[in-house]
Amino acid sequence: MTKPENVVAGEHTGRRAVWTAALVGWLLVGGLSVGFLRHWHRRERRVMEDQAFSLVHALANTLRTMGGPVARAEIGIQDVFDQIVASPSISGIALVTSETGIVGGAGVPLAHLAAADAAPKGALFLEQDILVWDTVNVGACSRSGPGRYGGRRGREAAAMPEAGLKARLLVSLPLATLHARWRRDELAVGVFCVVTLAAAIALVRLWGLSRRSTADSARLRLAAEETRALQEMNLVAAGLAHEIKNPLSVVRGTAQHLAAHSGEAQEAALAADAIVQEIDRVSSRINELLLFAKPRAPVLAPVSIADLCAELAGLLADELADAGLGLHVAVPSLAVWADREQLRQVLFNLLHNAIRFAPHSGVVSVQVRPAAAGTVTLTLRDAGPGVPEAAREAVFAPYYTTAAEGSGLGLAIARRICRAHGWRIACLSGAGGAAFEISGLTVAGTGDTPTLKGTE
């Protein structure tokens, strides 16, 4: 069966919406991950920069404790710097003064020193290193003088100025470890984005499979309903043939008898009365079949259940009196959304069954009680023998009856009408007879006219 164009267009729109939502969600997750990674890398850069400045000031303190390294020979400073650069955590160091220029250095290219001349303090992230520099006090400048007793020259303490020497100390730290960690982080985020993309695609696929599974289930249910309906129609056709065959045989025999006794008025009257009864019986069965096979679509309107029960009580008064039964109605003054004639047909069929099966001098009760969300439940109970548990579903099948004169279509028609209204009818267990419950009746006046949910 080809789907309507509007249904196909709706399915395409739904798929596009789901794919768009999945893509937007993945982009959002990926963007947040990349943004967090960049924020974390910037934080690590600031932390490393702070560590480098801390190292600059620590080295400046070390140089001050050496007693004025600028006054020493350059080879002594260079030896110290060479030992510092030998550490794997420091790739270069240099000391620059405005008076003497480069006092000592190791591992820092001259081009980097030129870049550091622009400011007294700064940081420069290079391809493989971070270069930081600051103007620090590296100690007092003392000059050489003669020894007290001649000979070897010593320092003149009195010549030592109060202020220390200001110089720029540059330190270069390797970034290999940081870059390796960053590459691992980027790889992890990339893998995470790929996994989330695959998960989004898988979720969309699963959603599509779920939709198709739901549609297939609906088609299977529809096919099962159609198969069940065909089976019921086959059963109805067979039952109708049986129901019509017997009355026609009676009509034929009666007509032959009437032809043979045409001169006897009493015999002719009895034969004619038998023909009328059998024709009425055939007409009743045909009407029931038409009502079952081709039910009319319900036309909803507010219907008073109490008024219907009062009308049916008057209609069935003679049958109730002949059976010695009383009718007890406990129905509040409310109206429900229903097709009045069809709801009347349901109540008539249920009351007619109760009258046939209830014992003499019993009571048939009709009760309406409130249920959830503006709905009510109608229960009709008799004091008869009840329905065995194994037969509580079978009683709604066409031509299922235990009565000698029953057609077996009353409850089948009632179920079709209930389904067309979106109600549920069930046969309940309980002491003291059979009970039939109709649930899902919407109370009129609680909202707009309900949408029919029936499938038949």
Whether 165 has a pLDDT exceeding 50, the answer reads yes
Average pLDDT value for residue range 380-409: 78
128 CB-near residues (< 8 Å, 6+ apart): 91, 174, 175, 176, 179
**Phi and psi, residue 144, nearest 5°:** -85, 150
Q: Which amino acid is located at 260 in the chain?
A: A
Task: Give the pLDDT confidence score for residue 2 in this predicted structure.
Answer: 47
Task: Give the pLDDT confidence score for residue 309 in this predicted structure.
Answer: 92
Please state, in angstroms and rounded to a whole number, the distance separating the CA atoms of residues 350 and 337: 19
The lowest-confidence range among 2-11, 194-203, 271-280, 284-293 is 2-11
Pick the CATH number of 5-142+164-174 from 2.10.109.10, 3.30.450.30, 3.40.190.10, 1.10.1470.10: 3.30.450.30
pLDDT class of 245 with cuts at 50, 70, 90: low
Q: Do domains 5-142+164-174 and 298-442 have the same CATH topology?
A: no
What residue segments make up the domains of the chain, in order of their start?
5-142+164-174, 185-291, 298-442
Torsion sign (Cα): 289, 295, 301, 304: positive
Whether 12 has a pLDDT exceeding 70, the answer reads no
Domain 298-442 has CATH 3.30.565.10: yes
Domain 185-291 has CATH 3.30.43: no
CA 245, 246, 248 angle in degrees (round to 5)? Answer: 65
**Phi and psi, residue 386, nearest 5°:** 85, 180
**Hey, is 132 helix, strand or coil?**
strand
pLDDT tens-digit series, residues 30-87: 888 888 888 888 888 888 888 888 888 888 887 777 654 444 444 466 777 777 777 7
Whether 337 has a pLDDT exceeding 90, the answer reads yes
pLDDT class of 150 with cuts at 50, 70, 90: very low
Query: Bigger pLDDT: 371 or 241?
Result: 371
Task: Give the pLDDT confidence score for residue 377 in this predicted structure.
Answer: 94
Nearest to 279 by CA among 310, 254, 304: 254
Please state, in angstroms and rounded to a whole number, the distance separating the CA atoms of residues 169 and 54: 12
Contact 411, 348 (CB under 8 A): no
The lowest-confidence range among 14-23, 33-42, 113-122, 383-392 is 113-122
Whether 423 has a pLDDT exceeding 70, the answer reads yes
pLDDT class of 148 with cuts at 50, 70, 90: very low
- Tokens linked to 207: 């959603």
Whether 424 has a pLDDT exceeding 80, the answer reads yes
Task: Give the pLDDT confidence score for residue 67 in this predicted structure.
Answer: 52
* pTM of the shown model: 0.45
